[in-house]
Amino acid sequence: MLDITTLNAGGIRAAMRKGMGPWLRANSPDVLCLQEVRAPREVLGPLLPGRENHQSVCRLKGRAGVAVSSLMPVAAVREGLDGLEPLDTHTGRWLEADLPLADGQTVTVVSAYVHSGEAGSERQEHKLAFLEAMTKRLQALAAAGRPAVVCGDFNVAHREADLKNWKGNLKNSGFLPEERAVLTSWFADLGWIDVGRRLAGEREGPYTWWSWRGRAFDNDTGWRIDYQIATPDLAARARDFRIDKPERHDARWTDHAPFTVTYDLPGWTPDSSSARAARSKLTDLTSR
């Protein structure tokens, strides 16, 4: 079994100060896809020792940034999306990593961070352009015939069940018809599977993001905007999922919750020597 976690950390250094370390020590996912890393490359390695860490860093200091941190060896990485304006190609929002399996297959894992957007603004235009570029890349990944999963903060709730107050957000970025239609096209036209929804079933949520403001967290007034979408062959191997929502508001170290899916994949043993070494290093770091 292989655990893949996606997490918007809201700044990896701040998250570690607030309590991410103990969570990571207790869970130690085989593959961790991070968004909003907000840190240069030389910072991530010491915070995630014993793992193979790859990043796409935003050209604007302290903004965005995605990473793939793996206990497995990474064969190749690719950064960015084609089809965007030059200034949008180095925003730290898309990173692909190819992970070889023992049976000779390779699975592609992507960490993606979609713009938050703002209805009627230039920010929303950037968001829609990024979603369009994602669509083209998803089409290419599906056509390649390789198992693939795209993890990340998509900043879009696809259906009414994916956010508590959907009626109050019909005109807000994150639940606009044109955004939701893009996700529908991924599932209906390109064949990608919303793994979280498939495993959770037809019910409200489960949510992965709650505003810091008011009592949104306490009342579970959240959004399901953190996804793992997979090619059908890989989605069929998804066995279980977990959302690590803290018990209390004051125990939060990000406004998102880690979202983990367990896949039945060959070639990776969580109790292997490399996994034990990584956990040992992480225990030393987070117990200081």
Task: Write down the mean pLDDT value for the chain.
Answer: 91
Whole-number Å distance between alpha carbons of 109 and 52: 14
Burial of 281 by CB count in 10 Å (0-12 exposed, 13-18 middle, 19+ buried)?
middle
- pLDDT tens-place string over residues 154-164: 999 999 999 99
Q: Which residues pair with 98 in a beta bridge?
A: 76, 108
How far apart, in whole angstroms, are the C-alpha atoms of residue 281 and residue 260? 22
| Residue 222 or 90, more confident | 222
Q: Which two tokens mark 24?
A: 């990571």
Instruction: Specify the DSSP class assigned to residue 70.
Output: E
Q: State residue 251 phi and psi, 5-degree precision.
A: -95, 0
Q: From the candidates 30, 153, 194, 226, give the one annotated as an active-site residue.
A: 153
Residue spans of the domains in the chain: they are 2-286
Instruction: Judge whether 261 and 30 are in contact, CB under 8 Å.
Output: no
The rounded percent of the chain whose pLDDT value lies above 90 is: 82
Average pLDDT (149-170) is 97
Alpha helices in 48-190 (DSSP H): 122-143, 177-188
The yes-or-no verdict on residue 119 having pLDDT over 70 is yes
Q: What is the pTM of this model?
A: 0.92
**Domain 2-286 CATH class label:** alpha beta
Q: How far is the C-alpha of 113 from the C-alpha of 95, rounded, in Å?
A: 9
Pairing of strands 66-70, 31-35: antiparallel
Q: Span 54-75, mean pLDDT?
A: 93
- Told to judge if 88 belongs to the known catalytic residues of this protein, a careful annotator would answer no
Model pLDDT for residues 66-76, shown as the tens digit of each residue: 999 999 999 99
Determine contact, residues 279/10, Cβ cutoff 8 Å.
Answer: no
pLDDT at 226: 98
46 Rama sector, left if φ>0, alpha if ψ -120 to 50, beta otherwise: alpha
SS3 content of the chain, % helix, strand, coil (to 5): 30, 25, 45
- Average pLDDT for 23-39: 96
Calpha distance 22→132 (Å, rounded): 38
Binned at pLDDT 50, 70 and 90, residue 60 comes out as confident
pLDDT of 199 over the 90 cut: yes
